Amino acid sequence: MTTDPDPGARALEEIVRRLNPNVPAGTRADGMPRIPRDSTAVRQITTLLRADPFGKALLTGHIGVGKSTELAHLTNELASQRFTIRCSVADSVGAQNTDTFTLLVVVLEAAIRAWIEKLGPMPPGLVEQFVGRVEPRSLEELSAPPIKDSAQIVRRRPNGVLRWAAMQERLLEYKRIKTGEQLAAFYSDCIRQLAIRYVAGADLASIDVSAVAESCEVILKEISEKSNKPVLLVIDDLDKVMDPALQQSLFIDRAMAWRRLPCAVVATLPFDAYFGERIAEIEQSWTEVLVLDPLPVPKSETSLGQSLSEPALQPYLTMLREAGADQLFTDRQKRRLAHASGGLPRTFISFCNTCALYALEANESRVLDSHIELVLQDMANKWRGRLTDADYEGIQRVLQSEGANVRNVVQPLRDGVLLRDGSQPPEKQCRIAPWAEPLLKAYEKRTRVGGADAAKNRS
């Protein structure tokens, strides 16, 4: 005889599913809705797009600060005025596989599917035009004598030609392409192939993107004329591209591929690139480069007691209510986790999610204080082995210089160990994440003791 699972456990499992830090709020019906926030960066992007139907903007900030959530909201807000197309690099090819050629293929496939979904079947003549646009290119490569040695292929054929030729060869198998659905399926197949192919940074310059870029320009122009609306293209997850060579190729060397598109483009930019040596070139290539600041950080529990009326605490309380987790935490626990997150929504949701998992594992109906301690200890332990003395020294210099020298600590900055909030006064713009404060204090204590010992030995 079987029995139903405990109702309390089922409810807790549902809370865990909704408290998913890997799903941007407002992007799924079964996920959490977006929490309204006062964002200067998003307001500026919205104003730009309403004024310029071909504006190009980049949104950057800490990983987990809410860029994906805000871009999804921006897409929905402008849907009545723009024909919106949204691409997620993470959902298609992965951030580290996203060179310009591959990203243009992703955009092309997304545009075809958006046409079918919002405008109906694609005209047969347009489908034939796309098929014909691909087939004739690089025919000399396709007709070249076969080479059995893969090393010879690499030496004799540039990587970009190989990739495009591979697509051509696959297209020759699609002689029956007559509909937009078949064309979208073809490009989806290409994306699957491209997602598992690594391109070395030195080879990026050899990739010819002209054909696929031209196809993107054609379909975006056709969509605008068919829908009688300017097109807005939103490209998410580019902020997760960590390879400097890929960053340079996407945002500088091949920036013209995006500037030429007959539509508005909003994409995410890695936060380390915003502080990099070539940020001035990126700003020259894009209309706007804007930073999404963290949420306000509520005071710690010791400075404001049990009160939940503090305005800075309200977004975090709303997140818990929307996830059905309001009764899972005490008032003191809510404040402690919100403060520890440092203003990064994903960090707060991740903390709450892990607390709920600990409670579920222990067959508890509520989160215990011991679960909070475990979560914060887990976070500190994870980063204890990742941060080097050079990282700690760099963080110290940034804090002491009121935000200068940030370029030397871009990794901790991007990952939210060191936080930057441009909405604060200059002397308060940079701060250590509250959960990481014990790590910095331990380093400072260790270096003080080490310095004292060294001085004692010298004397």
* Separation CA 117–CA 99 (nearest Å): 27
Average pLDDT rounded to a whole number, residues 153-162: 44
Distances, alpha carbon 131 to alpha carbons 74, 160, 207, 242, 269, in Å = 33, 19, 21, 34, 33
- Among candidate residues 406, 396, 404, 400, the one with its CA nearest the CA of residue 445: 396
What was the pLDDT predicted at 146? Answer: 38
**H/E segment holding residue 83:** strand 83-88
Residue 208 pLDDT exceeds 80? no
Task: Extract the runs of DSSP E, i.e. beta strands, from 243-297.
Answer: 264-269, 288-291
Choose the weakest-confidence range: 73-82, 94-103, 148-157.
148-157
| Dist CA 337 CA 132 (whole Å) | 57
Place of tokens 């500190």: 380
Q: Which two tokens stand for residue 142?
A: 């396709």
Q: How far is CA 204 from CA 87, 140, 199, 209, 284, in A?
A: 22, 22, 7, 10, 22
Rounded to the nearest 5°, which phi and psi values hold at 148? -80, -30
Percentage of the residues of the chain whose pLDDT score is greater than 70: 83
| Residue 266: strand pairing partners | 57, 234
Residue that is written with structure tokens 């009688």 in the block: 228
pLDDT band at 98 (very low <50, low <70, confident <90, very high): confident
355 or 246, which is more confident? 355
Answer with the residue of higher pLDDT: 114 or 149. 114
Please indicate whether residue 149 or residue 343 has the higher confidence score (pLDDT).
343
The answer for residues whose C-beta is within 8 angstroms of residue 3's C-beta and 6 or more apart is none
Helix, strand, coil share (%) of the chain residues, nearest 5: 60, 5, 30
393-404 mean pLDDT: 90
- Cα dist from 122 to 126, 133, 157, whole Å: 7, 16, 35
Least confident of 3-12, 90-99, 210-219: 3-12
Q: Read off the pLDDT band of 302 (50, 70, 90).
A: low
- Give the total residue count for the chain: 459
Sketch the domain layout of the chain as residue ranges. 40-291, 296-384, 389-458
DSSP string over 96-164: GG--HHHHHHHHHHHHHHHHHHHH-SPPHHHHHHHHHHHTTTTHHHHTSPP---HHHHHHHS-HHHHHH
Mean pLDDT over 372-388 rounds to 94
> Is-above-0.75 flag for pTM?
yes
Q: What are phi and psi of 420, to 5 degrees?
A: -125, 130
* Cβ neighbours for 113, distance < 8 A, ≥ 6 positions apart: 184
| Top mean-pLDDT range of 91-95, 217-221, 409-413 | 217-221
pLDDT tens-digit series, residues 278-295 = 999 999 989 899 999 999
pLDDT in the model for residue 285:
87
Question: Average of pLDDT values for 51-67?
Answer: 95
Percent of the chain predicted with pLDDT > 90 = 54
**Residue 337 above 80 pLDDT?**
yes
Over range 179-199, report the average pLDDT: 81
Condensed to tens digits (0 to 9), the pLDDT of residues 428-453 reads 899 999 999 999 999 999 988 655 55
Examine the pLDDT at 306 and tell me if it is beyond 60: no
The Cα 65–Cα 293 span in angstroms is: 7
Count the neighbouring beta carbons within 10 Å of the beta carbon of residue 268: 24
pLDDT at 134: 58
Instruction: Of 54-58, 177-181, 301-305, 395-399, give the lowest mean pLDDT range.
Output: 301-305
The CATH number that domain 296-384 falls under is 1.10.8
Of 30-39, 138-147, 283-292, 359-368, which gets the smallest average pLDDT?
138-147
DSSP string across 158-218 = -HHHHHHHHHHHHHHT-TT--SHHHHHHHHHHHHHHHTT----GGGGGG---HHHHHHHHH
- Residue 157 identity: R
What pLDDT is attached to residue 212? 85
Checking if the pLDDT of 52 tops 90, the result is yes
The torsion angles phi and psi of 335, rounded to 5 degrees, stand at: -65, -40
What confidence category does residue 96 fall into, taking pLDDT thresholds of 50, 70 and 90? confident
Per-residue pLDDT, 46: 92
| 394-412 average pLDDT score | 89
Residue 20 in this model has a pLDDT that exceeds 80: yes
More confident residue, 216 or 6: 216
Name which of 8-17, 110-119, 161-170 the model is least confident about.
161-170
What is the arithmetic mean of pLDDT over 293-319?
A: 84
Encode pLDDT of 37-46 as tens digits: 888 999 999 9
CA–CA distances in Å: residue 110 to residues 91, 184, 214, 235, 434: 12, 8, 15, 10, 40
